[in-house]
Structure 1
Amino acid sequence: MELLYIWIKSYKNIIEQGFNFSPQWRFHYNPHSGILKSDHLEQATPDFFGPSISNVTVIVGENGSGKSNLVEFIIRLFDQGTGFWNEPFIVIYRMDKILRVWCYQDLPLNVADEQYGFSVKKSIFKMRKLEAGLYGGITAVNEIDEITFAYYSQYFDGVTPRFGLNRNNNFLDLSNRRNIVRPKSEHSLEETFLSPKHYYYNNIKRQAKLFSNWGRHLLDFPVPDFIKITVNEDINREYLKNAFKDDRGHGSEEIWDFFDRPGFIFEIFRAVLFSTLLDVCARSGLGENSIGHLKQRINEDQVKQNPLVLLEKVQNDAFGKWRSMHEFIQWLSVECTPFFYENEPDPIFKTRDNALILPTNSPLISIFFTHIDYIDIQISSPFHIAWTFKDDQDREAGLSSGFNNLINLFARIFAIWEKLVHTNTFLLFIDEGEVGLHPELQKRYLDLLLNNIPRIFPIMDPPLNFKIQLILTSHSPFMVSDLPRENIIFLERNPDGTCKVSDGMNDMQQTFGANIHTLLSDSFFLKRHNGLMGSFAQKRINQVIQFYQHGMLIDNLNREESEVFAQRVTDILGEPIIKRYLLQLQSLRQNINVKEDIQKLKDEIAELKKRLPND
């Protein structure tokens, strides 16, 4: 299945506009006559983006043109299901050799089958009004709602579902906002938000699953060498004394001191133990009993000899977390203790600078996260976890934010693969995914998507057999340069503020492989009269020009200060043509100044002569 066309009658600033998503077909709908026409573009190249990608479409638009509104319409269309819309629209997609046209009931529609060369099936959305003014309830099978649609956005204030409407189970929200919100209930207005630490932890966990299943060498960009786990330094003796008030504070200090022993495993144990105690105190009020049990147990001889026996002794005393914590520490001591020392040959799990270090593709990473999830610490985080690179001289470097965003995208796609097993269609919508990337990564962004996304699926069992349709939004000319003109939807803003679908770039026949400077020079990206430099620099240059041409002082400076300021701007200017022009103006200004000075001296001499006595 491939989405080909959406026509919208009225949605925010989008008024009677059609959007073509196919490089092979161009549809045109006339809402007055109801005639739906199409043009077949012969130049479309099969498998242009590779055998696993059915098509790529990029939506670009002027500021305020309605790109965000189009994104919102598409996302909510697939999220809530077509039956829950009362805005008239048309959706066209191709399934095998059948063209499916879904049309809102109040829109006229006339389609000629013979113009397409294959059969056309028309269906009408029949809306029925429900209680409370809601619309919905298409009773017939609707293939649109059966499309598996995934949405990814880095924005935390992106598109969100409408309250009170059913959700399409085939809509997969991979956005950052979805990953920080924990809904209170399916039909509640209230939401709770994950802390930044837990959001970051969940991202790392997804990435670890990707690496452990995928390996490091299938990706065609740098992947970290190992994961580094350190204890949260905020969980310390003084903090706990203040956190546990009254007698509990003294009790926590006593327990802390008991586990103040050499060996990183005890640091881990202590961090998990006290994070759990803090969590229990905040959530259930059982912390005082737990501290009391621990104080009694640590004085037992068997515990004094082996502190790790403590959890085994108390796991059933107070609350259910003890068993999970005991299993975690037991796993650490049995599986990892032999590798806690640098002198161990070829350590799988070793410490350095009081950190647990694991190779990126080690299965132990997933086990570590599984144990932490079972303990289910919600309030505080016992660990700092980060991916790390290592160079030839054993120096460490962290993961850049740009690569982290890319890995997040691939990890979230990998996390939903089980939901794709029974689908034959996967439409992936990425909203400005290149935001925040270095220009070099922006240049490679589409190529990285096309190379890496299909690589996730062949390793799955059972293997998935379908093509992926990509729809992207972007502000980047790099993205436009990577695509033929037919694969780009250009949006412009009419004088009245409404959205207009443009025919494309004004000054070129094709965009594929176009020079970035040429794309930026096109009035679609930057209005030509505004130039290609920043507005602040342009303002300063104009001030210097006005000073040299008309003697207008710059800001609140006097003449001498304005001279120095203008000279400095001219010296640091990087654009050679404008710099040469300023130097010419400067020279003219200096000549004018010399003439003015000469005339001033002549006037002074004449005045002095008047004051001399007559001979």
Structure 2
Amino acid sequence: MELIFAYIKKFGDFIHDQSIQFSNDFEVHLENKILTVREKKNYLKDFYGDGIKNISVLVGKNGSGKTTLLDILGMNRDDRLRGSVKKNEVDDEYLLLYYIGKNDYGQELFGIEVLGSNVFYDMFTNYDRGDDDDRYDKAKVSIGLVFRYENECFISMGKHFFNEMEENKEDRLSDLIRYAYINESYRYSQRNEHYGIYNPRYDDYIAGRKMYSRSNVYTKYLVICQCIEDNIEGFYFDKVKVKLYDEIDYEYPVWTDDNFKDRYKATINEIEEMLPLWKKINILSNKKKKAEETNKREKYILDLYARYILDMLVNGLYSLCKEGERGRHSGDKARIDIVYHMEYILSLKSNESSYDKLGKPIDYEEELSRVIILISWLKEEYKQAEIFGLRILGRYVGSRIHGEEDNNDFGYVDILEKMTEEMFDIPEEYFQKDGIEFLVVKESNLYLKKFLKKYSEWEKIKKDWHSDIENQFKVHFGLLSEGEERFIDTIAKIKDCVVEDKETKLLIAIMDEPDQAMHPEWARRFIDIMVKTLGKPEHECDIQLIMSTHSPYLLSDILPSNVFLLERSGVERQLSVQRMDKMNGNSCFGANVYDLMKNQFFMENTVGEFATKKLNNLAREIEELGRDNEENIKNIEYFVDQIGESVIQKILKKKLEDRKQRLKLLNNKNRILEMITNQDDKQRIKDYLEMLEDR
């Protein structure tokens, strides 16, 4: 399988009638509304290794449209419709053409993914829809269909991307073709508003798409280990600090809700005093002695548990009670004897609701009173097992902030229990007051490896198992530069998308300037590392890489047939896309970086603009040098010696030397004329010297 062609009839106000041919196996043309596909001999098959179909690169100045084209490829269906359909009018039109392969009858199959109100007439006409009802496809605006290609005609197979290609087989094209948009979280465009959302009900109309803005923590850790062990050529780190910390802040409503502050802050303070909040202990606290006797690991875990419970009480239960009060009837009974229900409370599971037994939360003051009674009871019953008492308290508070319908996927309490269980396996030496710290060195740390692997597993399932692990618990990798961090994160995200899409037959990885912030030497090695990373036998799918760059270092590893120059010109700044091998025989593969810049493919000038202006001014200054200007000549000579480009330096040195010789003649004008006795010769030399003086 392969994405072989994209045609954009219209997108926004600056892209009209542009096409990109991604494949080296097919030649595709769209002329006079006739779409033709011809297979061609690929003399460099498997050029980037087994499994990598090709690597395509978009280059151009800032604002040329690189990110826009990547967005067109990478947007999911919701974002396409939101951005392109306004007031029931479809503003944009484009199609993507995929080669699917041959079916059991030897027929060549193609997938066509479209966006538009009438693509199959407005863009190309050599198709046969047979008995298909195209009203359905027009209504869906963005949809994918399957065709066979015979005698230069696309003949409908009567299937969409959401249909099984063969009966009783899980082979829907919406599953078999996947896009992984690898980007930075702060750089995704407004066109990708729903970039992290996959809705099977709507998104299977076209190929699946997912944006990877954050890498999996465990994958990132493994990449760091590879670098430390010097297993990624050219990338070596001596050590990296890994820190796990939390951002649990339960005081938020105190500062925004005066009602809370006036009515409940004193009660919350009472609960705080009853819980092991070691971070809040002051020197006069009656807990100080106990805090000194508690080891760092237990102190951190108990404090974490206590703050998490308070966060559920303040940020979760308070808002529910406010809603409950608005719908409360005069006959509702809020008061319940919590001790009477203690056996039930002790049996609560981590994802269980107590609404059936204890009623919905209505009276916040009553809810806080129950918590105080429960804490007192637990402190008495579990004096020597404080963590066990907190676990019961956490399950109870959790049971008050979710209803029965959420039982199966409520993970807020479950994640707390799982994380603290894993933390108890970590030796005390790694615990700090504000988190857990490890140093990643050549010697593997089994505690860290095990914990990060578990953390990543919990993070992966957060959509099906609701928790706030991503917001409340953070993992930070320290002692890394911005470039090192970006490199590790990019490699990790690429590994993530390959691992997650094991059932996919075609994975199209899109990257927007992946080499940004990298040292030139790292950019020079980037493609080689990508090929090695994706070439390992961890997947069976075909992979295409489509990326943008400003780097000539990266470009020198790409075949010219897969490099596309984007330029905008004219009053309306319209986009044109040109393939490099079609541009007067230009090439880039294996080219010297200086030559790539010099041919204006990247730059109008290979010297910095400030330096260019300074050198032009220097040349004029040399030409305008007058007599008796020794000090200025010395300044110019010093300046010329600072020039790094030897050719420019040599030209300016010669220019300066010529000017000095001319000035020498002028300074000795009278003496030279006195030495000449022939009047005609004297006049001729005088005229010549005056001419030099005028110049």
TM-score by structure 1 length? Answer: 0.67
* Correspondence for 2:334: none
AA matched with 2:300: I
Residues 334-382 of structure 1, C-alpha deviations (whole Å, 9 max, x = no match):
x334xx46xxxxxxx8999983457367323323566898995679867
Give structure 1 stretches of 5+ with no counterpart: 112-119, 180-201, 342-348, 388-397, 459-463, 553-558, 601-615
Task: Specify the alignment match of 2:152 in structure 1.
Answer: none
1:94 paired to 2:99 = yes
Residues 91-127 of structure 1 show CA distances to partners (whole Å, capped at 9, x for unaligned) of 433222415274822236466xxxxxxxx99899946
Residue from 451, 454, 466 that aligns with 2:541: 466
The number of equivalent residue pairs is: 525
Quote the Cα distance in structure 2 between the aligned partners of 1:108 and 1:369: 45
Match of 1:426 among 507, 524, 527: 507
CA contact (8 A) 1:5 1:19 kept: yes
| Residue number among 450, 461, 468 corresponding to 1:363 in the alignment | 450
How far apart, CA to CA, are the structure 1 residues paired with 2:186 and 2:221?
A: 23
* CA shift for structure 1 position 524: 1.9
Alignment partner of 2:217 out of 192, 204, 214: 204
Mapped to 1, the partners of 2:302 and 2:668 lie a distance apart of 85
1:583 is aligned to 653
Which amino acid is the alignment partner of residue 580 of structure 1?
K
Shift of 1:443: 0.9
Residue pair 1:275, 1:380 contacting (<8 A) in 2 also? no
Q: Does 1:441 align with 2:514?
A: no
Find the counterpart in structure 2 of residue 248 from structure 1: 269
Distance 2:75 2:471 in 1: 35
Aligned pair in 2 of structure 1 residues 127, 404: CA closer, same or farther (>3 Å)? farther
Q: 1:267 to 1:583 in 2, by over 3 A?
A: farther
Match of 1:272 among 300, 304, 321: 304
Counterpart residue identity of residue 209, structure 2: L
Separation in structure 1 between the aligned mates of residue 466 and residue 6 of structure 2, nearest angstrom: 48
The CA deviation at 1:488 is 2.0
Alignment pair present for 1:511 and 2:581: no
Q: Deviations over 1:70-104 (max 9, x none)?
A: 22322237776799866444443322241527482
Larger Rg: 2
Amino acid at match of 2:10: S
Distance 1:242 1:96, change over 3 A: closer
Correspondence for 2:203:
168
For 1:4, the equivalent position in structure 2 comes to 4
Distance 2:370 2:588 in 1: 67
Does 2:520 correspond to 1:490?
no
- Determine helix, strand or coil for the equivalent of 1:46: coil
Q: Deviations over 1:389-419 (max 9, x none)?
A: xxxxxxxxx3443343343334334445576
Mapped to 1, the partners of 2:417 and 2:621 lie a distance apart of 77
In the alignment, the residues of structure 1 paired with residue 223 and residue 78 of structure 2 have an alpha-carbon distance, to the nearest angstrom, of 26
The letter of the residue matching 1:502 is Q
- Unpaired runs of at least 5, structure 2: 103-107, 146-157, 162-172, 274-279, 319-363, 400-411, 671-695
Q: Conserved in 2, the CA contact under 8 Å of 1:101 and 1:122?
A: no
Q: Which residue of 2 aligns with 1:555?
A: none
**SS at 2:121 equivalent:** coil
* Equivalent runs, 1:33-44 vs 2, <5 Å: 34-37=33-36, 41-42=40-41, 44=43
CA positional deviation for 1:7: 2.0
Distance of aligned partners of 1:565 and 1:491 in 2 relative to their CA distance in 1, 3 Å threshold: same
Residue 308 of structure 2 aligns to which amino acid in structure 1? T
The code of the aligned residue for 1:366 comes to K
Counterpart of 2:296, as a letter, is F
Instruction: Select which of 121, 126, 147 maps to 1:106.
Output: 121
Give the aligned partner of residue 423 of structure 2: 332
Cα offset for 1:2?
A: 1.0
SS state at 1:174 partner: strand
Residues of 2 paired with 1:591 and 1:289: CA distance? 99
Q: 2:476 aligns with which of 379, 385, 398?
A: 385
CA distance in 2, matches of 1:277, 1:150: 37
Matched with 2:169 is none
- Change in CA separation of 1:400 and 1:218 when aligned onto 2, cut-off 3 Å: same
**8 Å CA contact retained: 2:111, 2:144:** no
Please report how far the alpha carbon of residue 450 of structure 1 lies from its aligned counterpart in structure 2 after TM superposition. Answer: 1.3
Aligned to 1:500: 576
Distance 2:192 2:422 in 1: 45
SS at match of 1:106: helix
The equivalent residue for 1:538 is 612
Counterpart CA distance in 2 for 1:437 and 1:494 is 30
Aligned to 1:392: none
317 and 17 in structure 1: CA distance in 2 versus 1, 3 angstrom threshold: closer
Aligned to 1:15: 16
Question: What residue in structure 2 maps to residue 412 of structure 1?
Answer: 493
Q: Superposed, which structure 2 residues align to 1:593-612 within 5 Å?
A: none
* TM-score under structure 2 length normalisation: 0.61
- Indicate the larger mover: 227-236 or 1-10: 227-236
Q: Separation in 1 of the partners of 2:142 and 2:474?
A: 47
Aligned to 2:25: 24
Counterpart amino acid of 2:188?
G
Partner letter of residue 492 of structure 2? Answer: A
Distance 1:562 1:292 in 2: 86
Structure 2: distance between partners of 1:405 and 1:440 = 15
Query: Which residue identity lines up with residue 311 of structure 1 in the other structure?
Result: L
Q: Which residue of 2 aligns with 1:475?
A: 550
Aligned partner letter, 2:549 = S
CA separation in 2, counterparts of 1:233 and 1:93?
45
Match of 1:573 in 2: 643
1:568-602 alpha-carbon deviations (Å, 9 max, x no partner): 533422122222333344455666777888999xx
- Once structures 1 and 2 are overlaid, which stretch shifts more, 420-429 or 62-71? 62-71
Evaluate the alpha carbon distance shift between residue 137 and residue 109 of structure 1 in structure 2; reply closer, same or farther with a 3 A threshold: closer
Coordinate RMSD, CA, aligned: 5.2
Matching of residue 259 in structure 1 with residue 286 in structure 2? no
Letter in 2 for 1:437: M
Task: Please give the alpha-carbon distance, in whole angstroms, between the structure 1 residues aligned to 2:511 and 2:110.
Answer: 24
1:261-287 deviation line (CA, Å, top 9, x unaligned)? 464314532552465266343444589
Query: In structure 1, what is the Cα distance between the partners aligned to 2:576 and 2:451?
Result: 54
> What are the Cα deviations for residues 440-475 of structure 1, in whole angstroms up to 9, with x where unaligned?
1111111111111243x62xxxxx532112222222
Task: Report deviation, 1:206.
Answer: 5.2
Residues 417 and 469 (structure 1), Cα distance of their counterparts in 2 relative to 1, 3 Å cut? closer
Q: What SS does structure 1 have at the residue aligned with 2:19? A: strand
- Amino acid corresponding to residue 100 of structure 1 in structure 2: F
- How far the C-alpha of 1:211 sits from its partner, in A, is 8.4
Displacement of 1:429: 1.7
SS at 2:43's partner residue? coil
Q: Does structure 2 retain, via aligned residues, the 8 Å contact 1:59–1:488?
A: yes
Q: 1:20 offset after TM fit, Å?
A: 0.9
Query: Which of residues 152, 173, 187 is equivalent to 2:182?
Result: 152
Shifted more, 91-100 versus 315-324: the winner is: 315-324
Q: How far apart in 2 are the matches of 1:24 and 1:470?
A: 16
